[in-house]
Amino acid sequence: MRIIKSPFALTKYIKFLKSQNKTIGLVPTLGSIHAGHISLIKKSLKKCDITVVSIFLNRKQFFNLDDLKKYPSKISDDKKKLASLDVDILFMPDYDMMYAKNENIFLSSTLLKSDEEKIHFNGVLTVVNKLFNICLPDFAFFGKKDPLQLFFIKEMIRDLNMDIKIVPCPTIREKNGLALSSRNQRLSAEELERAGCLNLILSEIKSKKDLNAGRSIISKNKITIVYIKLFDIDTFKPTAKFVRNKTLICIKAKIGSVFLIDNILYK
Ligand code: AMP
């Protein structure tokens, strides 16, 4: 596995690989590699000649600075995991290599409303756009666990005429249904067990076609709900209707001091 820190050096190398007709797959991550990331990486290894995994803890996309401070980082473990998977390139730039000191251009979406949404998704769109410009991927792999992120990236591809195929990948879960996330490392064993109920709540809402159906599970597991909402999966507009293969049931909850999200498609 080649480890590259310089964006310029990566672009130069990718251009060389492309001159040899190699297809390039990109898997962007914040690091602390887990089985969810690995499922995306395996898809890229299968589909593309060259797989680039980026690890970049993009502080611009963190609304909550405490969340950034506490975000787990395990670079030497990550390197071992990625090397054992036979990833071709690990791209891990420093902050100053990604952002110019006097930068004044960034991407944003007109759909974003709250400050939290703006900071997070403008940060995501800007950094993913940079990663696309640097890695020149043919395919980029993103998890359905973060459906709004997937939605905005697809909008960016369409609105900025980018010639990149986005590959949405299924959510990988613990045995108790909890979606894998780097943030899960901040939960105690007891909280990890309770966090499994997020998926249970979603399944209950799905089977009963009722947004209130998870109430008893919520009170039994003592979790704080930030929201439970229905969205149209294509437009991400809030909806009240359960339409098969169209309505995404989304949850955000706080367990201990950690915010977790999950979602399920109504089928
Ligand atoms: P992150 O490092 O959290 O930014 O995640 C990097 C990529 O992995 C994103 O496209 C996520 O949606 C995806 N991802 C994170 N957790 C999971 C999971 N449990 N299953 C599948 N994909 C995931």
- Residue 233: predicted pLDDT: 96
Which of 145, 151, 175, 262 for mutating ligand 1's site (highest number of atoms within 8 Å of CB)? 145
The residue that leads in pLDDT, 222 or 98, is 98
Atom of ligand 1 nearest to the CA of 31: 2
- pTM score, whole prediction: 0.97
User: How far is ligand 1, taken at its centre, from the CA of residue 103, in Å?
Assistant: 28
DSSP letter assigned to residue 171: P
Atom of ligand 1 nearest to the CA of 27: 7
pLDDT band at 63 (very low <50, low <70, confident <90, very high): very high
- Residue 226: predicted pLDDT: 96
The Cα 197–Cα 223 span in angstroms is 9
User: How far is ligand 1, taken at its centre, from the CA of residue 142, in Å?
Assistant: 7
The Cα 258–Cα 246 span in angstroms is 29
Contacts of 139 (CB under 8 A, 6+ apart): 23, 24, 25, 26, 44, 47, 48, 164, 165, 166, 167
pLDDT in tens, 108-167: 999 999 999 999 999 999 999 999 999 999 999 999 999 999 999 999 999 999 999 999
pLDDT in tens, 192-208: 999 999 999 999 999 99
Mean pLDDT of the chain: 97
User: How far is ligand 1, taken at its centre, from the CA of residue 19, in Å?
Assistant: 31
Q: Quick one: average pLDDT of 28-41?
A: 98
Tell me whether residue 161 is exposed, middle or buried, using C-beta atoms within 10 angstroms of its C-beta: 0 to 12, 13 to 18, 19 or more: exposed
Tell me whether residue 243 is exposed, middle or buried, using C-beta atoms within 10 angstroms of its C-beta: 0 to 12, 13 to 18, 19 or more: exposed
User: How far is ligand 1, taken at its centre, from the CA of residue 165, in Å?
Assistant: 17
pLDDT band at 241 (very low <50, low <70, confident <90, very high): very high
% of the chain exceeding 90 in pLDDT: 100
The verdict on the CB of residue 143 being under 6 Å from ligand 1 is yes
pLDDT band at 41 (very low <50, low <70, confident <90, very high): very high
- Residue 222: predicted pLDDT: 87
Out of 34, 37, 130, 194, the active site residue is 37
Which of 152, 169, 182 for mutating ligand 1's site (highest number of atoms within 8 Å of CB)? 169
Instruction: Take atom 5 of ligand 1 and give the residue whose Cα is closest.
Output: 29
Does residue 8 contact residue 97 with C-beta atoms inside 8 Å? no
